[in-house]
Chain A
């Protein structure tokens, strides 16, 4: 059974840092690209960052570029998101999501349960 379990969320002051983790199991983690997607309270889904299976390709939304860093450790079946210089607008539930392997398009076939990040003084 595919499982994605996020951790590391919490309350942090503006300007602070937080590191999110996503533990993967039930599939060959090293074969899949992964994304972080967030959802602010009462709002829709927003892509945050992407990383390819071997970490060769990494992308960020403009809203987090220069502040967030995505990484992965395939030996540990884990995905990470280092978040620095946090702002109030970063407050959201952060999901890790697996990208389905497809030819002409892609989608998210599995999601974690999410971890809440609250940025407030």
Chain B
């Protein structure tokens, strides 16, 4: 099955830009979706179709996808952005999401 690789952790100072990567074989040919999960809460969709934002998600969240790497970018990071972030692609053969291992974003 398709494997998505994320760094376990990323740290960033408030006000700076955080970039969380998601690696996969030719992932640029797939659509990538991103979720934010805060402790004790369910995941929340923050990016779909590589770079689209659901309503209610700040413009500070953006995404890109090319080659073997997809990237979630969070600009002007705030303390409230501290969370785990998961990338996901779709396995249409059995109608389910394939997740990366998750990245813990720490705001210093």
Contact = CB atoms under 8 A, between A and B. Distances in A.
Interface stretch (A8-16, A79-87, A99-107): A99-107
Contacts of B33: 105, 107-108
Interface residues of B, number: 26
B45 A57 contact: no
A95 interface: yes
A105 B30 contact: yes
A26 interface: no
Nearest to A46: B99
Contacts of B88: 107-108
B22 to A, nearest CB: 13
Given A108-B45, A111-B43, A52 B54 contact: no
Q: How many interface residues does chain A have, given as a range?
A: 20 to 34
Interface string B25-67: 0000011010100000111110011000010000000000000
Contacts of B90: 105-107
Contacts of A105: 30-31, 33, 49, 89-90
Nearest to B93: A59
Given A105-B30, A106-B95, A109-B45, 18 more contacts: A33-B95, A35-B95, A35-B96, A37-B97, A45-B86, A45-B97, A46-B99, A47-B96, A47-B97, A47-B99, A95-B42, A100-B48, A104-B31, A105-B31, A106-B90, A106-B97, A107-B45, A112-B42
13 contacts: A37-B97, A44-B86, A44-B99, A44-B100, A44-B101, A45-B43, A45-B97, A107-B33, A108-B33, A108-B35, A108-B43, A108-B97, A111-B42
